[in-house]
Structure 1
Amino acid sequence: MTHREVLRALSGLLLVLFVALTSSTVVSVALPQIIGALNGTQSQYTWVVTATLLASTASTPIWGKLADLFSKKLLLQTAICLFVVSSVACGFAQSTGQLIAFRVIQGLGMGAVQVLVQVVIGAMISPKERGRYNGYLGGVMAVATVGGPLLGGFITDTSWLGWRWCFFVAVPFALVAFVMLARTLHLVETRRPDAKVDYLGASLIAAGVSLLLLWVTFVGDDFDWISWQSGAMVAGSLLILGAAVLVEARVKEPVVPLHVVRRRDPALAIVASLSVGMAMFGGAVFLGQYFQIGRGYSPIQSGLLTIPLMFGVLVSSTVAGRLVSRTGKVKPFILTGVVVLTLGLLGLSTIDHTTSLVLVGVGMFAVGAGVGMSMQNLVLVLQNTVPLRELGAASGAITFFRSLGGTMGVSVLGAVLASQVSTKIADGLKKLGVDPAASSSGGSTLNLKAMPPQIQEVVRAAYGDATGHIFLIAACIAVVGVAAASFLTPTKLRDSVDL
């Protein structure tokens, strides 16, 4: 494909990626109203989020492997259709049970789109040239992350739209992307009639990861970290994943190619990606809560306040991507990125409910810049080491570990935040002469409007001051990424699509 043809096809790829990523963030602001309108419970509230996350993360390596065996273009179109149908179904859901079921299907489509877009780009563009296009990918991810909650807040607050349009709004854009890709994407597909899908390995991976994610989701709330439930779920997950490794080592067409992930650079890229995912997603998820509860801003205002994070990703991914394409070197940018990410998280670890918004903005920009320089380039390291026939499985593996890291980061840091907030609220209430056990404020700390002004201030201070602790933990996690990136081999990217 010529440069012009690549750009035309890339427009459709970026549009569908943007739609998929936005659909996961646009609902976050509207969830309280959605669950209220459908008469759902708090546990169902959690499951509306968890169902999508489980389906997306667990199916990622499977979609990646299918891309190595069958037509990448056809699989991507199938994923778009799956996403469109499930989005419409979510919009028409009449109960939380129906919504959760449709969100599982939507998660399958979202996971497929995220990994298949990277696979298709890898099949069109050589690793060396791919650097300049990674800037576009980083920009799309940044805008979707920040723009989703803003769009969700606008849709929910607009009387003639309502929460159902949080699901419907993605449909026309996804259909436009489908048509664009049908007309512009032309890949040379290699037919493999003898190819077999490893259904046993895929099922074991999905089951093991799902059990692990369920534990990560519920531990700390429904049962303690050290309990028989934790032991049973973690041991069960490790046994199932151990069986999956044995199967993958013996089958002809493994879902996750062990010979690839055992190599030094791919293994280090996966470790660094897992670390960046835990630090980035785990920390950034709670920024909206910090601005809304800790500082008293509205959902739309809190979205606007996170623009420095988006701007950091957009600028650094574009600049670093072009420099990678020009030099063919990727390690210096990854190492610089994870160091800047760590420094940004350390800066945010000092914030409380009175910190200057300028200092918070500088910390967020550094975090965004670090992510922009490292995240997509870590995918590039892995893709540079594999032939075209293994591109899908390799891309699926690193995307899977990044998503897994993000999920675990959100759960672990969320548990720490909840513990810190509970302690700080109890201390604050004691200073006011209020018995924490007799007050309901500690049990419903998100319903600020129902509290007296003095207790509101205690709760705001608790959330504002506790947020710094989770960024300190995120910075410690990011140090693992610095260590992994420092041991990467300083190789040059190849300038051909295949080895």
Structure 2
Amino acid sequence: MTATTASTAPTTDTDSDAEHKQILRVLVGLLLALFVAMLSGTIVANALPVIIAELDGTQQQYTWVVTATLLASTAVTPLFGKLADLYDKKKLLLIGIGIFAVGSLLSGLSTSAGMLIGFRVIQGVGLGALQALVQITIATIISPRQRGRYAGYMGAVMAFATVSGPLLGGLIVDVSWLGWRWCYWSAIPLALIAMVVLARRLHVPPPSRTEVKVDWLGATLISAAVTLLLLWVSFAGPTHSYDWISWQTAVMVPGALALFGLFIWVESRVAEPIVPLWILRERTTTLAIVASIAVGVGMFGASVFLGQYFQIARGYSPTEAGLLTIPMMLGLLVSSTVSGRFVTQIGRWKPFVVWGLVTFTAGMGLLGSIQYGTSLWLIGVFMLVAGIGLGASMQNLVLAVQNTVPLSDMGAATSSITFFRSLGGAMGVQVLGAVFASHVSSLTATRLTDAGIPVAPGGDGGGSLDLSELPDAVADIIRSAYGDSIGLLFLIGAGLALVGLVAALFMRGTHLRDTVDLKAAVAEAAEEDVAVETAAATALGAAVAVDETADQTADETADAVDDADGVTAGARSTT
């Protein structure tokens, strides 16, 4: 398989079909790797309470099991993106899958919550590698214009992993002869299959750089900054370890900002920066990052808080809650597939990004009207609209960035937008969670007081409670408080989506190139210019030659006429 899928030479339908089949064989391995990576985050959503209970863990350890993976995956994304520009992408992919498989194996063997947290860090490193490398590899083997054709497959994988994960996790913990450990072990066979497929089918060109020097200092600084920032936002808040305004905040936030500042200073001076600053100075990339943060908050927020709404406010089981989110995933799947096809046909991405963000903003606004007693079919329609917007915008934002950079910097550019989307989404969800908890607590306390039910001093009835053990009157008030508070989060999300829409409007709507590498596209354009100039020069030369020939012919004709006139005159004189 070659590095490019489009060339200047004409191709037949048979060649195109063969190339399409060849790409699909490779995509099986790539998307399978992406699927197991995404599944690792969703499959434990419903199983985690059982896991922590069996390992005698605490509520704080419960949070750390999730946070550890999030920290590791987000922190290593820029590093693996840069490594993909410097080293063999195929080897890096296989290493990433191997790290993920080892982390999954060890997580399933954990005998304590502390061990599980440590092994989840290993799994998170593999997860971060796969999230970055799969998209980078796809960008290496498929040109931007043709990439839209395959966006639907990626959307299908994302939708299926999101929907099937909670269902599969709930099934595993409910089956006695399986148990929670298979939530981690079930990914290993799929990961091994992906390794075999990629080892046999994937062929990518070697990096063009001959001298390789990894910016380990920059990688350390950005990892430390991200870790400190996510730790702060994960444990801040009135219901967490410390308040938003506290000495911990005064230390951690300035510390994270200082580390980010040092990172930028280092990146401006090293030969091979983790994130080349010129990429961030490119207008399309900067605005795409802003829009991606808005999309990330909406995507992560919807998956987290809609499930909480269905379970706590409406009283559905985790499995039923997962099924109720299918409309959103269906909208994402259909929209990503259809928009991808049209992007390939017309060669433009901006109309679909703008249209997608308009639809996503509208969907989030509609979800902002949800209350405790809102009809389920109406909620389903709102989720469908939001999903359609997500599907049209999410992958096309990545495509817009990839279209602006050469192949030599594809890894850094792709991982940058993935990194900021994950970081923004993670932080946004934590902040939204704090707003949600505060609003639920306040509303619950007010309604309990109005109903004449005493509230304990310092309590507000909004904590994490097993509603089945409460009196029906109290449980109903808490459910209604959850149900009537959820809309506020989606209204905030709609505001962020509107910011993303404004950013998208100012992005350059460039045509998608038909070559994998930007440099090749520039070279082809230059060759076309030379060909046009040569043709013009040839035509001009021919025109001049014809003109000169015509002038010469006219002169010869005039001379002949003059000679003839002279002969005629002489003859008359003789006569």
Coarse TM-score class (shorter-chain normalised): over 0.9
Of the three residues 157, 161, 171, the one matched with 1:140 is 157
Of the three residues 103, 107, 117, the one matched with 1:100 is 117
Unmatched tracts of structure 2, length 5 or more: 2-18, 519-575
2-structure distance, mates of 1:212, 1:184: 40
* Residues 1:275 and 2:268 are matched in the alignment: no
Contact 1:58 / 1:205 at 8 angstroms: preserved in 2? yes
> How far does the alpha carbon of each residue in 1:338-364 deviate from its partner, in whole angstroms, 9 at most, with x for none?
111110010010111100011100111
Matched with 1:21 is: 38
2-structure distance, mates of 1:83, 1:7: 24
Contact 1:272 / 1:482 at 8 angstroms: preserved in 2? yes
Equivalence map 1:29-68=2 (5 Å): 29-68=46-85
CA drift at 1:142: 1.3
* Residues 1:310 and 2:329 are matched in the alignment: yes
Structure 2 length normalisation: TM-score? Answer: 0.85
Matched with 1:418 is: 437
1-structure distance, mates of 2:211, 2:188: 36
Equivalence map 1:319-330=2 (5 Å): 319-330=338-349
2-structure distance, mates of 1:343, 1:104: 37
CA drift at 1:268: 0.8
User: What amino acid is aligned across from residue 285 of structure 2 in structure 1?
Assistant: P
* Residues 1:212 and 2:229 are matched in the alignment: yes
Matched with 1:381 is: 400
Of the three residues 353, 368, 371, the one matched with 1:352 is 371
CA drift at 1:284: 2.8
Give the alignment's Cα RMSD to 1 decimal: 1.2
Contact 1:128 / 1:494 at 8 angstroms: preserved in 2? yes
1-structure distance, mates of 2:243, 2:62: 21
* Residues 1:9 and 2:29 are matched in the alignment: no
2-structure distance, mates of 1:419, 1:470: 12
Contact 1:441 / 1:455 at 8 angstroms: preserved in 2? no
CA drift at 1:405: 1.1
User: What amino acid is aligned across from residue 161 of structure 1 in structure 2?
Assistant: L
1-structure distance, mates of 2:173, 2:119: 20
2-structure distance, mates of 1:275, 1:98: 34
CA drift at 1:459: 1.1
2-structure distance, mates of 1:477, 1:168: 38
Aligned to 1:285, what secondary structure does the other structure show? helix
CA drift at 1:439: 9.9
Aligned to 2:301, what secondary structure does the other structure show? helix
* Residues 1:480 and 2:499 are matched in the alignment: yes
User: What amino acid is aligned across from residue 368 of structure 2 in structure 1?
Assistant: S
* Residues 1:251 and 2:270 are matched in the alignment: yes
User: What amino acid is aligned across from residue 411 of structure 2 in structure 1?
Assistant: G
Contact 1:212 / 1:234 at 8 angstroms: preserved in 2? yes
Aligned to 1:286, what secondary structure does the other structure show? helix
Of the three residues 79, 86, 105, the one matched with 1:88 is 105
* Residues 1:203 and 2:191 are matched in the alignment: no
Contact 2:445 / 2:460 at 8 angstroms: preserved in 1? no
Matched with 1:111 is: 128
CA drift at 1:494: 0.4
* Residues 1:463 and 2:490 are matched in the alignment: no
CA drift at 1:193: 4.0
User: What amino acid is aligned across from residue 496 of structure 1 in structure 2?
Assistant: T
> How far does the alpha carbon of each residue in 1:43-89 deviate from its partner, in whole angstroms, 9 at most, with x for none?
10000000000000011000000000000000000000101111010
Which is greater in Rg?
2
* Residues 1:406 and 2:425 are matched in the alignment: yes
Contact 1:283 / 1:474 at 8 angstroms: preserved in 2? no
2-structure distance, mates of 1:255, 1:210: 17
User: What amino acid is aligned across from residue 33 of structure 1 in structure 2?
Assistant: V
2-structure distance, mates of 1:125, 1:207: 34
CA drift at 1:228: 2.5
2-structure distance, mates of 1:227, 1:48: 25
> How far does the alpha carbon of each residue in 1:251-279 deviate from its partner, in whole angstroms, 9 at most, with x for none?
01000011011111111111111111122
Contact 1:34 / 1:163 at 8 angstroms: preserved in 2? yes
Aligned to 1:197, what secondary structure does the other structure show? coil
Contact 2:372 / 2:484 at 8 angstroms: preserved in 1? yes
Contact 1:213 / 1:408 at 8 angstroms: preserved in 2? yes
User: What amino acid is aligned across from residue 167 of structure 2 in structure 1?
Assistant: L
* Residues 1:371 and 2:374 are matched in the alignment: no
Identity %: 58
2-structure distance, mates of 1:149, 1:69: 37
2-structure distance, mates of 1:167, 1:485: 39
* Residues 1:186 and 2:203 are matched in the alignment: yes
Of the three residues 261, 279, 294, the one matched with 1:242 is 261
CA drift at 1:156: 1.2
Contact 2:442 / 2:460 at 8 angstroms: preserved in 1? no
User: What amino acid is aligned across from residue 346 of structure 1 in structure 2?
Assistant: G
Matched with 1:71 is: 88
Contact 1:339 / 1:370 at 8 angstroms: preserved in 2? yes
2-structure distance, mates of 1:12, 1:115: 15
User: What amino acid is aligned across from residue 210 of structure 1 in structure 2?
Assistant: T
> How far does the alpha carbon of each residue in 1:19-41 deviate from its partner, in whole angstroms, 9 at most, with x for none?
11011110111111111000001
User: What amino acid is aligned across from residue 125 of structure 2 in structure 1?
Assistant: L
Contact 2:298 / 2:493 at 8 angstroms: preserved in 1? yes
1-structure distance, mates of 2:512, 2:462: 54
CA drift at 1:143: 1.3
Aligned to 1:179, what secondary structure does the other structure show? helix
1-structure distance, mates of 2:178, 2:154: 30
2-structure distance, mates of 1:342, 1:96: 40
Aligned residues: 499
User: What amino acid is aligned across from residue 156 of structure 2 in structure 1?
Assistant: G
1-structure distance, mates of 2:495, 2:298: 8
Tell which has more relative contact order, 1 or 2 (C-alpha 8 A, sep 6+): 1
Unmatched tracts of structure 1, length 5 or more: none
Contact 2:89 / 2:133 at 8 angstroms: preserved in 1? yes
CA drift at 1:443: 5.8
1-structure distance, mates of 2:303, 2:350: 25
Contact 1:280 / 1:367 at 8 angstroms: preserved in 2? no
Aligned to 1:29, what secondary structure does the other structure show? coil
Structure 1 length normalisation: TM-score? Answer: 0.98
1-structure distance, mates of 2:262, 2:251: 16
Contact 2:332 / 2:389 at 8 angstroms: preserved in 1? yes
Equivalence map 1:136-175=2 (5 Å): 136-175=153-192
2-structure distance, mates of 1:475, 1:178: 40
> How far does the alpha carbon of each residue in 1:109-144 deviate from its partner, in whole angstroms, 9 at most, with x for none?
001001100000000000000011111111111111
Contact 1:58 / 1:210 at 8 angstroms: preserved in 2? yes
2-structure distance, mates of 1:368, 1:265: 24
Contact 1:149 / 1:303 at 8 angstroms: preserved in 2? yes
User: What amino acid is aligned across from residue 26 of structure 1 in structure 2?
Assistant: I
Structure 1, 315-324 or 268-277: larger mean CA deviation:
268-277
1-structure distance, mates of 2:260, 2:379: 40
User: What amino acid is aligned across from residue 64 of structure 1 in structure 2?
Assistant: G
Contact 2:71 / 2:230 at 8 angstroms: preserved in 1? yes
